[in-house]
Structure 1
Amino acid sequence: MKLAADRVKACLRPSAFDDVNTVIANPDDEIYAYAIARLLVSCMDDASMLDKLARYEAERSAYFLKAEDPEVIAYIATAVGIDITAPDMSVKQYVSLVSRMREPPRWRLVNRDVLHGRVHCPPDDYAAILRERIRQVIRSQLPLVVPPGPVAVRLRTYAEEVSHAYREQIMEQYGEVSEGCFPPCIRAIIAAVTDGTNIPHTARFTLTAFLHTIGLDETAIVEVFARAPDFDIQRTMYQVEHISGSGGTEYTPPGCATLKTYGLCVNPDTFCKNTAHPLSYYKYRKKISGKKV
């Protein structure tokens, strides 16, 4: 179980797979850790963790595939639905594969050779395309259903440990920001989103509720999340509308005590000592700065 938890923690690092030991001492342990890691992230109720693990495992697979014979690589590619021996692929398949790949200018159709509905793919491109396809396959299988019982209890214990490490990593890494009258916790969340870092659901809720309460409209709030690597316009709009009151309940951000339990209270300053809620902090800072609330 610990090996699986360490595997999930490894996917949290910005450099992800580059930092892990590439030596496999015991293949059986690796298989076990992979299976348990999938169950572990499925207990976390956080889509960003599912995305991170899928990307990490895809990068890990791509690394080890480099040492395989071309025939083995072609076989694996065929198993996941890609013919890497072909000089091109259909536009439909190509777009579905590259839509979430990094270095977007390189993969845009306008920068590719397209003829008769086929996109030319040089051999060098197929390594990245295969890695992305593996990521998609792994992600499509998550989350797994974890039935209640002793195993689920143990998994959730490790899941909470990983969740705490994830929250600490995000907030410590992006704590040093400047956002005017916003409290430090809100500034840190905005900085993380702007930098392209996936943030936990509790952070998304806090930021959305805070921005809505101080007067931002739904479109403006959605735009804040637009740079997130797992940005989905429909899902984000639904969440923003729901938190903003479309379901009949209008939410406000959690108080400071709750934010501490979430691991979202970072870099408290002297003004935090006089307030117990992000909105109180905001009003106080605006008041002393001479700005109208």
Structure 2
Amino acid sequence: MIPLKLGVEDLAKYPFLEEAGEYFRQRGFSLNDISQPDFDIVIERAKSRVLDAIYHRETSSRLSDPEVELLSFPVALMMVKSTGLDHLVSRFSHTESVRVEKLLEDEREELVVQIFRHILKINLVAVTAEAEGGESGLHAFDYKIPLMDYLKRATHFHQLEWKLVNRVVSQGYVYLRTHEMIRLIRQEIDVMIRARLNALPVPRLPENLEATVKDLAARSPPPPKIVSVIAPDKYPPCVTTAQAMLEKGENLPHYARFLLTTYLVAAGRTVDDIIQMYGRSPDFNERITRYQVEHIAGLRGGRVKYRPPSCRTLVTHSFCFKVPECGDILNPLQFGIKRFSKNPTTTTTAEKEKGKEKGKARTKKQ
């Protein structure tokens, strides 16, 4: 496939593309430019992007001046990185990923395919009636991706619609509509942008940006602290890892959220406690979070209370962080029980009940 020749408007919409870096090099863009008076409009736009992330968790592209829009992206990255706030890094990357998602919904097929292939390393193919040989039903879809690429990403979802048996599969490809395809890679766009931010060295700021960065840091309130009901040393490592990610303001993948929520519900945490904990997530929406937590807790829908995924499932999702204390447990809920029952001074509930039964038996004999 011959790469598309992209214009400045394309680059303004997707400034993480390699062609954007080439554009900056050709223009000779450097930090010295930021100090120039005619660069003020770029600084203002960069600041507004960061403020959108802080206050609204979403932003939109302003393409009336695509060059300003394009140049504002690396300046915004510089501002965010210079604050030294991990949760702002996560919130900004999430906000930008949401912006990209919305653009991809209506983007021309050739550019979508190029982004998937060159940036996300997914061999996405646009579906046409001719390419499918007129096979009935297939041309109703927009794209298809290799089966293994689909399975790698669909395992993050628990809804029945994502199960392979409920998808259309033909000749090694899974067929998707545009909105499904974008949802499938939502997390990867976020992770990609955050990785670029994390890899960015902390720049030496021009004087005219120092006050702006201090202002942004002051406007970025720290999310609420996570309060534990159960002693932290009784949490399995997979759960403490998920909590640590939230502490940093990172956006947890779906399966990590499911693990954390089911575990805390089973451990006796209240719905409100769990919702407050997710306030650190860059994509936090209280209404949606409450619905999801209450559903998992068995307070909605079919009133089914979900159990934490097994250790085997967590290994499949690369979210198992086994330590020697885990022993041979099969589920995270067994971690505290099996680990601490080895302590001779600790009496489990089962042992207490067994003791009571023995006591009753002795009383009857007397």
TM-score with structure 1 length normalisation?
Answer: 0.50
Is residue 58–residue 135 contact of structure 1 (8 Å, CA) maintained in 2? no
Aligned to 1:188: 241
1:202 deviation in Å? 1.0
CA separation of 1:135/1:185 partners in 2, compared to 1, >3 Å: closer, same or farther? Answer: closer
Name which of 144, 156, 159 aligns with 1:152. Answer: 144
CA separation of 1:203/1:85 partners in 2, compared to 1, >3 Å: closer, same or farther? Answer: closer
Number of positions where the alignment pairs a residue of Structure 1 with one of Structure 2: 198
How far apart, in 1, do the equivalents of 2:347 and 2:284 lie?
33
Name which of 293, 296, 307 aligns with 1:252. Answer: 307
How far apart, in 2, do the equivalents of 1:245 and 1:184 lie?
25
Q: Please list the CA deviations of residues 111-149 of structure 1 after superposition, one character each: whole Å capped at 9, or x if unmatched.
A: xxxxxxxxxxxx99x925997897664232456899867
Is residue 15–residue 73 contact of structure 2 (8 Å, CA) maintained in 1? no
Q: Please list the CA deviations of residues 1-41 of structure 1 after superposition, one character each: whole Å capped at 9, or x if unmatched.
A: 9xxxxxxxxxxxxxxxxxxxxxxxx752889xx9xxxxxxx
Aligned to 1:230: 283
- Higher RCO structure (Cα 8 Å, ≥6 apart): 1
How far apart, in 1, do the equivalents of 2:245 and 2:3 lie?
36
Aligned to 1:39: none
How far apart, in 2, do the equivalents of 1:150 and 1:127 lie?
33
* Structural mapping, 1:42-57, within 5 Å: 57=14
How far apart, in 2, do the equivalents of 1:225 and 1:254 lie?
19
How far apart, in 2, do the equivalents of 1:292 and 1:58 lie?
57
SS of equivalent residue, structure 1 residue 196: coil
1:265 deviation in Å? 1.2
Is residue 326–residue 339 contact of structure 2 (8 Å, CA) maintained in 1? no
1:66 deviation in Å? 5.2
How far apart, in 1, do the equivalents of 2:347 and 2:20 lie?
54
Aligned to 1:140: 102
1:259 deviation in Å? 1.6
* Structural mapping, 1:29-178, within 5 Å: 57-60=14-17, 100-101=52-53, 127=72, 137-141=99-103, 152-154=144-146, 156-161=147-152
Aligned to 1:273: 327
How far apart, in 1, do the equivalents of 2:96 and 2:247 lie?
27
SS of equivalent residue, structure 1 residue 235: helix
Unpaired runs of 5+ in structure 1? 2-25, 35-54, 70-83, 105-122, 170-177
TM-score with structure 2 length normalisation?
Answer: 0.41
SS of equivalent residue, structure 1 residue 152: strand
1:151 deviation in Å? 5.3
CA separation of 1:217/1:135 partners in 2, compared to 1, >3 Å: closer, same or farther? Answer: closer
1:218 aligns with 2:271: yes
1:28 aligns with 2:4: yes
How far apart, in 1, do the equivalents of 2:340 and 2:333 lie?
11
How far apart, in 1, do the equivalents of 2:248 and 2:257 lie?
15
Aligned to 2:295: 242
Name which of 277, 285, 291 aligns with 2:339. Answer: 285
The alignment yields a C-alpha RMSD, in angstroms, of 5.0
How far apart, in 2, do the equivalents of 1:223 and 1:67 lie?
45
How far apart, in 1, do the equivalents of 2:235 and 2:96 lie?
41
